[in-house]
Amino acid sequence: MKMLEMIKNEIVNAFLFDGDFIYAEPFGCGHINATYAVYFRRETKPPVRYILQAVNTAIFTDPQGLMENILGVTSHLRKKILEQGGDAQRETLTLIPTRNGNLLYEDSEGGFWRSYHFIENATCHQSVDRPVLFTNAAKAFGHFQKLLADYPADTLHETIAGFHNTVDRYALFEKAVAEDKAGRAASVEKEVRFFLDRKADGAVVVDAIAKGQLPLRVTHNDTKLNNIMMDNDTDEGICVIDLDTVMPGSVLYDFGDSIRFGASTADEDERDLSLVSMDLELFEAYTAGFLSEAGSSLTAEEIRLLPFSAKLLTLECGMRFLTDYLNGDTYFRIHREHQNLDRCRTQMKLVADMEYKMEDMHKIVAKYV
Ligand code: ATP
Ligand code: MG
Ligand code: MG
C-alpha cells in the first residue's frame, strides 16, 4: 500500500493528467513491471483513467533507452495509423508525458515511472480459450510487423544485449556444461548431446543477418497473447502492447517464439512428454493470420525460414532452461526441484516433433504466401 500512497502524493502530480485524482489501483496481470490504473474526475467531461507503470529497472537497466525505443516505434505506428484513417489512441500505445515534458518520471526513491493512455473496451486474454484468439493475435503481430517494415531498426537500442543471439547462447551453454557448477552435467548427458548435435542450427539466422541475407527488423520479443489488447465486441486484436523488449532483430524471432509457446499442446513444464507436441492446426491458424498481414512485407528468405524459426526458438529456449539447470537454477524461477530440466525436456520434445513435421509446416506456409 505504500506504493499507492506514493502514487497519490507524488507520482500523479508529475504527469500531464487531465482532471482531479480520485484513486489508483494495481491493474492487469503483468509479471515484469508494476502496473496501476489511476482514475481522474473532470468538470465537464466524463471521468478518465490512465495506465501508470513503474519500470522494472532490475531487468531493464537503461530505462531511458527503452523509452526512446517505445517513443520511436509508437510515433511511427501513429503516423501510419492516421494515414490509414485509424484511431491512433486505440491502435497503438500513447505515452502521457510528464509536466516537464519527459517520458519518464524519476521518483524520490529512484524508481522510474511512465504513463499510457488507457485503451478502453478491450481485454488482454490470458489464454487461447477460443482458437480465433490465436489467429487474431497472429494478425495483430503481423500488422505490427507490416507497419514497422520501413522503420530503421538499427536505430533501436538493444535493451537486453544478445537477446536472441543463438551463437552466444550456445557459448554460454557450453560454458555451463564445462563448469558444471551444480554437479548435474553427468545426469543430463543425453540432453546436452541433443543441443550440441544441433549447434549448426544456432548460427543460421545470426549469420544470415550479419551477411545481409536477412533484414534487421523491429522485433517485439514478447509476442504472448496477453500482450495484445483485443476488442471486447469483436475479439479483433487492436493494439500490440508491452513494448519494453522491442529491439533490432529478425521477424523470425517473433514468429518462431509465437509458435513455440502458442502451438504447443502442453504446458512448458509438463512432465508427461507424451502430451507434448506441436499442433499443426494451431501452426496453421497462426501462420494464416500472420501472413495475411505481414506476408507482403517479408522477403523470400524470411518466408523460407518461417518453419525453421519455430524450431530455432524452441531450441534456444530449451537450451536456456538446460543452461540454467546446469548453473543451479539462478535465472528462471522454479517452484519445484528439476523444473528447469522438465522445461528443457518439453522443448526438446517440441524440437523433435517440429523436425518430424517440417515438411508439413512448409506446405502450410506455401498455402498462405
Ligand atoms: P509481462 O509480464 O507480459 O512482461 P508487463 O509487466 O511488462 O507484462 P504490460 O504487459 O505492459 O506489463 O501491462 C500489464 C497489463 O496492464 C496488460 O496485460 C494489460 O492488461 C494492462 N495494460 C497495459 N497497458 C495498457 C493500456 N494502454 N490500456 C489498457 N490496459 C493496459
Ligand atoms: Mg505484458
Ligand atoms: Mg512486459
The CATH code of the domain that includes 57 is: 3.30.200.20
1 band by pLDDT with thresholds 50, 70 and 90:
low
Q: What is the DSSP string of 151-202?
A: S-GGGS--SSTTTT-HHHHHHHHHHHHHH-TTS-GGGGHHHHHHHHHTHHHH
What value does the mean pLDDT take over residues 100-120?
Answer: 97
Ligand 1 neighbourhood includes 67 CB (under 6 angstroms) = no
Answer yes or no: do 36 and 159 share one domain: no
* Predicted local confidence at residue 127, as pLDDT: 87
Ligand 1 neighbourhood includes 34 CB (under 6 angstroms) = no
Cα separation, 88 vs 75, whole angstroms: 10
Q: Among 92, 120, 148, give the residue marking a domain's end.
A: 120
Answer yes or no: do 234 and 351 share one domain: yes
Residue 224 placed within a domain: yes
Residue with cell 465537464: 44
What value does the mean pLDDT take over residues 66-88?
Answer: 98
Q: Which atom of ligand 1 is nearest to the CA of 118?
A: 28
pLDDT tens digits, one per residue of 11-59: 999 999 999 999 999 999 998 999 999 999 999 999 999 999 999 999 9
299 band by pLDDT with thresholds 50, 70 and 90:
very high
Ligand 1 neighbourhood includes 165 CB (under 6 angstroms) = no
Answer yes or no: do 34 and 80 share one domain: yes
In this structure, the residue with its CA closest to atom 12 of ligand 1 is 30
In this structure, the residue with its CA closest to atom 11 of ligand 1 is 242
Give the rounded percent of residues in the chain with a pLDDT score beyond 70.
100
Answer yes or no: do 202 and 329 share one domain: yes
Answer yes or no: do 95 and 136 share one domain: no
Residue 96 placed within a domain: yes
What value does the mean pLDDT take over residues 112-123?
Answer: 98
* Predicted local confidence at residue 252, as pLDDT: 98
Domain of 294 in residue numbering reads as 131-368
What value does the mean pLDDT take over residues 317-333?
Answer: 96
Answer yes or no: do 100 and 137 share one domain: no
Residue 126 placed within a domain: no
Ligand 1 neighbourhood includes 238 CB (under 6 angstroms) = no
* Predicted local confidence at residue 131, as pLDDT: 83
Ligand 1 neighbourhood includes 151 CB (under 6 angstroms) = no
Q: What residues does 218 pair with on adjacent strands?
A: 248
Backbone angles phi, psi at 305, to 5 degrees: -90, 0
What value does the mean pLDDT of the chain take? 97
Q: Among 72, 95, 120, give the residue marking a domain's end.
A: 120
Backbone angles phi, psi at 265, to 5 degrees: -90, 0
Backbone angles phi, psi at 51, to 5 degrees: -90, 135
Answer yes or no: do 114 and 217 share one domain: no
Ligand 1 neighbourhood includes 28 CB (under 6 angstroms) = yes
- 318-352 in b/e form (b: 16+ CB < 10 A) is bbbbbbbbbbebeeeebeeebbbbbbbbbbbbbbb
Answer yes or no: do 151 and 295 share one domain: yes
8 Å CB contact between 205 and 251:
no
Ligand 1 neighbourhood includes 241 CB (under 6 angstroms) = yes
Where on the phi/psi map is residue 329: left (φ > 0), alpha (ψ -120 to 50), or beta? left
* Predicted local confidence at residue 276, as pLDDT: 98
Tell me which residue of 207, 214, 166, 144 sits closest to 311, measured CA to CA. 166
192 Cα–ligand 3 center, Å? 30
Answer yes or no: do 137 and 173 share one domain: yes
Answer yes or no: do 106 and 137 share one domain: no
Q: What is the CATH number of the domain that holds 186?
A: 3.90.1200.10
* Predicted local confidence at residue 129, as pLDDT: 82
Three-state DSSP state, 46: coil
Q: Which atom of ligand 1 is nearest to the CA of 94?
A: 27
pLDDT tens digits, one per residue of 126-181: 988 888 999 999 999 999 999 999 999 999 999 998 999 999 999 999 999 999 99
Residue 125 placed within a domain: no
Name 152's Cβ contacts closer than 8 Å, sequence gap at least 6.
none
8 Å CB contact between 87 and 81:
yes
What value does the mean pLDDT take over residues 284-289?
Answer: 96
Answer yes or no: do 278 and 336 share one domain: yes
Answer yes or no: do 184 and 333 share one domain: yes
Can you list the alpha helix ranges (DSSP code H) found in the chain? Answer: 2-6, 12-14, 63-83, 88-91, 131-147, 166-179, 189-197, 199-210, 251-262, 280-294, 300-304, 306-327, 339-356, 358-368
Tell me which residue of 353, 152, 163 sits closest to 259, measured CA to CA. 353
Closest-lying ligand to the alpha carbon of 32?
1
In this structure, the residue with its CA closest to atom 3 of ligand 1 is 30
Ligand 1 neighbourhood includes 51 CB (under 6 angstroms) = yes
Identify which of 121, 229, 240 to mutate to test ligand 1's pocket (most ligand atoms within 8 A of the CB): 229
Ligand 1 neighbourhood includes 27 CB (under 6 angstroms) = yes
8 Å CB contact between 25 and 36:
yes
Identify which of 226, 242, 333 to mutate to test ligand 1's pocket (most ligand atoms within 8 A of the CB): 242
Cα separation, 334 vs 314, whole angstroms: 19
Q: Among 70, 96, 120, give the residue marking a domain's end.
A: 120
Total domains, the chain: 2
Residue 148 placed within a domain: yes
pLDDT tens digits, one per residue of 82-105: 999 999 999 999 999 999 999 999
